[in-house]
Structures are given as structure tokens and as C-alpha cells.
Amino acid sequence: MKRKIYNDLLKWKEEIHAKPLIMLGVRQCGKTHIINEFCQNEYQNYIYVNLIKRNDIIDLYDSVLSSDEKFNRLKVLLDFDIEKDNTILFIDEIQESEKIITELKYFWEDHPKLRVICAGSLLGVRLKRFKSSFPVGKITFSYLYPMDFEEFLWANNEELLIDVIKDGYDNNRALGKALHNKALKYYYMYLMSGGMPESVKKIIATKGDYIKYDNSVLNDILSSYFDDMRRYVTNDAESLKVQRIYNSLPSQLNNLSSKFQYSLVDKDARSRDYATALDWLEASNLVLRAKMAKRAEIPLEGFIDVDTFKLFLSDVGILNTLLKISPMDIIKDNISLYKGIITENFVANQLVCNNFSLYYWKNDATAEIDFLLYTRDGIIPLEVKARENTQSKSLNIYREIYHPKYSIRLSTKDFAYDPKKQIKSVPLYAVFLIKP
């Protein structure tokens, strides 16, 4: 399936002396697939190494041999001269060897003809807890997220619908009932499947028939996440804390205080007791942190309350699976209060895909803006509505205080613009078009 990150890989390929590239992302978001496609399409010689299956290579790099000796023996183990022209080496599951990660600096400095690309599960956790000498400045990082809504439409061969949506966004022009409803149909399909590639394939196979959609693939992915929480932590106590935080997220998102509360994890919990576990979840990309800005001014990072934040799940399909919500309940709108929570998580996922850092604003009273976007037009407030009802006192209060150039309101309504209030109404299916 077509992924936007492919263009980033092409730019990396064109660099004269490209640093080794490490792709980060949650398990099963498509890292191995897209790298494999890129290597096969773009290079004459492609060498694939999965370290889970190559203990011989791990043992080689754990030895006391010099870097030159290790490199020469690596070529023997691979039975290929990896310095041949137009060759790329893909090291998958590289988290299995800290020593090989360290050697990436040597590859770049001493063997510039070799292109190296790496991926692995929970690499963010591994890198954050690195014990060896990390090759700072000698590695390029790339981030792959679950498929965003535009990629989802690509997978459904709806390029023409994308063009119409883009025209509506650029010109504040309504799509009209028929096209708007068609786009909304795909939006609800995406809410069911989320953006994990295998889940997307499942929903496409059913042509959007929620009765036929089998979400077992999402249950399997969720189970693999819990397996990782047990496998890639320092001890059983930390594993339990990580799982407790993750399991608390549905109730955290429904928290009337609009912030993460440790008491919802454990009634006696304190931040210091769970800091390491929370750090693990963020490093693994399983959760996304939205920071609360006390003032909506540049730089937003300078006005955050470090103790007040929200956590979203990395994928809306995974959230629904954790909530045990059936596709039928999503389509039939049987989820009442949680519809807004699911919608907000969807928007957070799309914004992160577009390289936004997540911030929100809350005053001392009850006014709250779901997201603050730092753009070329300054700080733009973004309000999320799960339905067509778009009344909001919070946005009015915010506008009176900060006078933004314009505001964005997301809902299930068609495109529109209110010149008096300077509010740009955008359908939820068009979030992918909002750029920094």
C-alpha cells in the first residue's frame, strides 16, 4: 500500500553521503513492508538481515574484534560484498544488538558506499536506555505512524475523492450532500479499522461492510503490545505499571478534569512511582502526549504546565479494541459520550502524522480548546466536534483573549467559512490537509 514516507526515503537515497537511517514506529505499522518495497525498487543489490534469526551476526558484533575485522567477517556471513555499487543493507529487528547500533557510525565513516537502513520493535525504548556509546549525529531517524486518512483513501483507490476534498479545503467550498456522505462513509470505515495496515486490508476486503469486518487482527496487535510490555522491561514490577497505565487510558480520556491522573491508574499512585513506566510507553510510540499550554503564545513549549497533560493512543482502531467497542456500535452511533473521545483520538493521530506537536489550552475556569496548532499563520485553535452540533463557548472565550488569525472547527458538517467569526469549518475526514 502506498505510504507517504516513501518520498522521504527517496530523498535520503539522493543524499551524496547518507547517514544510516533508523525507522521508528509502533509494532506492525508497516515499517518492514515499506522498507522492503523501497529496497527492492530502488537498489540493484538488496541484502536483508533479520537479527532475530541471525544470532551468528549478533555474536560477531559482541566479540572483541576490531570494527574492520567485524566488517570483513560480516561480508563472509552474508556471502556478499556489501560494498558493491548500488547496494543497500536492511537490518531488521536491530534492537536485538546494541553493539550493531553502535557500529552504524563506523559503517558511515569508513564505508561510505554502503547504504544502511534499519528498523525494529520498540527501538525508541532501546535507544532511550542505551548503555553503549551512542553514535550521536551519525544516524538519520525517520518516523512511521499508522496510515493516515489520506493513505487510507489511497488504499481504497479514491484519488479523485481526495482531489475533491482538497478543493473543498483550499476554497472553503462545500462538497454537496452526495460527495460529503461518501467521504463520511470512509471516515467511519477508518474509525473501525484505524490505520494499522493489516486492519486496513481487512476493512477494504469487506467493502466497508461492518458486519463482515473481522477486527481480530487488532486484538492480535494489542496482545503483541502486552507481550512487549512483559518482554522489553527491566522487571515484572515495571511491566505491571506499564500495563496499568495503558489499560487506564480509556478512562483517562473520559476524565472530566481533561488531564492524565495517576489516581486512575492506582488510587495510591504518585507520578514518581510511574514516571519510568510512562516514559516506556512514550518511547515505544504506543501513546501520544498532548501538553497543556497555560498561555497560547509563541513558543508554546515555554508555557506548558509540565504536570498537566493528556495521553492518546497511537491508533484509533487500537483504542476501540481496548474499549471492546464493536464496529456495529460505531456505525449505529451507540457509543454516546465516547464518540467525542474516539473522535479526538482520531484527530490527534492525524495531526501527529502531519508533524504537529500536540498541545491544548485550558483556562482557570471551564474553557478548553482541544488542540493548539503552531503554523505559519501563528497559533491556530482547533476545536473538535464529533457531530454536527458546533456550538462552543470555549472557542468564543479563546478568540476574545487571543484574537487568532482564524480558527478551525472540525465536525461532521461540510466545508464552510464564517467571515464574521473567522472560523473555518472542516469535515473530520479532511484533517489530513491541515499542515504546519
Q: Is the pLDDT of residue 114 over 90?
A: yes
Pair (117, 225) in one structural domain: no
Q: Alpha-carbon distance 82 to 109, whole Å?
A: 15
Please name the residue that has the C-alpha cell 555474536: 59
Considering 143, 173, 199, which residue would you say is the last residue of a domain? 143
Q: Is the pLDDT of residue 257 over 70?
A: no
Pair (127, 253) in one structural domain: no
pLDDT category at 235 given cuts 50, 70, 90 is: confident
Q: Flag whether 253 is in a domain.
A: yes
Q: Is the pLDDT of residue 234 over 80?
A: no
The total number of structural domains in the chain stands at 2
Considering 116, 143, 170, which residue would you say is the last residue of a domain? 143
Q: Alpha-carbon distance 281 to 246, whole Å?
A: 8
Cell readout for 4 is: 507517504
Considering 125, 143, 161, which residue would you say is the last residue of a domain? 143
Single out the residue of 361, 356, 351, 360 nearest to residue 401, CA to CA: 361
Q: Flag whether 163 is in a domain.
A: no
pLDDT at residue number 7: 96
- 232's CB contacts (< 8 A; 6+ apart) are 121, 122, 125, 126
Please name the residue that has the C-alpha cell 482557570: 364
Q: Give the range of the structural domain holding residue 419, as residue numbers without chain letter.
A: 216-433
425 close to 169: Cβ distance less than 8 angstroms: no
Q: Alpha-carbon distance 87 to 47, whole Å?
A: 8
Q: Flag whether 200 is in a domain.
A: no
Q: Which whole-number Å values give the CA distances from 290 to 81, 183, 237, 260, 356, in the listed order?
A: 47, 28, 26, 10, 11
Report pLDDT digits (tens) over 179-205: 999 999 999 999 989 999 999 999 999
* Average pLDDT of the residues of the chain: 90
Report pLDDT digits (tens) over 32-64: 999 999 999 999 999 999 999 999 999 999 999
* 299 cis-preceded (ω within 30 degrees of 0): yes
Report pLDDT digits (tens) over 350-403: 999 999 999 999 987 778 999 999 999 999 999 999 877 767 788 999 999 999
Measured from the Cβ of residue 296, the count of other Cβ atoms closer than 10 Å reads 22
- 326's CB contacts (< 8 A; 6+ apart) are none
Q: Flag whether 259 is in a domain.
A: yes
pLDDT category at 93 given cuts 50, 70, 90 is: very high
pLDDT at residue number 187: 94
pTM above 0.85, yes or no: yes
Q: Alpha-carbon distance 146 to 54, whole Å?
A: 28
DSSP at 95:
G
Q: Flag whether 230 is in a domain.
A: yes
Give the domain CATH number at 32: 3.40.50.300
pLDDT category at 343 given cuts 50, 70, 90 is: very high
Q: Is the pLDDT of residue 329 over 90?
A: no
Pair (378, 237) in one structural domain: yes
pLDDT at residue number 160: 98
